[in-house]
Amino acid sequence: MHRAHQHAQTRTRERRHRLAHEAARLMAEGGIRDFRQAKHKAAERLGIHDDASLPRNREIEDALREYQRLFLGDAQVAALRERREAALRALEFFAGFSPRLVGAVLEGTADANTPVQLHLHSDDADAVGRFLDGHGIPADARDRQLRLDRARSADFPVWVFSADGLAFDLTVLPHDALRQAPLSSVDEKPMRRASAAQLRALLADGEIAAYEGSARM
């Protein structure tokens, strides 16, 4: 009985591993951004339909990092750095809105199709739109639902535009959100965020790591 239980647990772990890596491949190659969509598409492709085998979003994110390291290598590193440098310029440009970098560009899983995602903060929901208009930046308006905590969700205005061949995605949050970030769709914990100073330090650390890596070769 105990052995049968262990065998079932092992099979479930193996399925979770296969699903996480297939979902990561779909995200890397197919441009899927949504973890839930990627995991269910992977389950469909692999013919795995039991909920216990579905990996957590964090498992898929870890598998995505591994996939990018193995199969994309320098191309992914270059795309990530380009987006982080563009994000720094954007953080400086939107300084009046207490901006923070969030998402794949900060987490290190961005590729050549990933938009730069920023959170801007203002109690005037139209202020960012006026700012973009004033600088002659055409942008599309959307809404996005974010979870503020485990009990509350709300819709927030989003502005999407392109500059220098890169896509930018701006979510406008009230100033109160600076104290407590919305919950991440990856692990349901407060989103990791970076100010301009923190991103500058991250870029400097990347330069040091690249230099040390080339020095060892």
- Is the pLDDT at 73 greater than 70? The verdict is no
Domain boundary among 15, 40, 72: 72
Give the CATH number of the domain where residue 97 resides.
3.30.460
Give how far Cα 154 sits from Cα of 36, 125, 139, 171, 187, Å. Answer: 20, 13, 22, 12, 18
Domain boundary among 55, 72, 89: 72
Question: Is 79 found in the same domain as 7?
Answer: no
Most confident of 41-55, 72-86, 163-177: 163-177
Q: How many domains does the chain have?
A: 2
Q: What is the pLDDT of residues 50-71, one digit of tens each?
A: 777 788 878 888 887 787 776 6
- Decide: pTM greater than 0.85: no
Confidence of residue 7 (pLDDT cuts 50, 70, 90): low
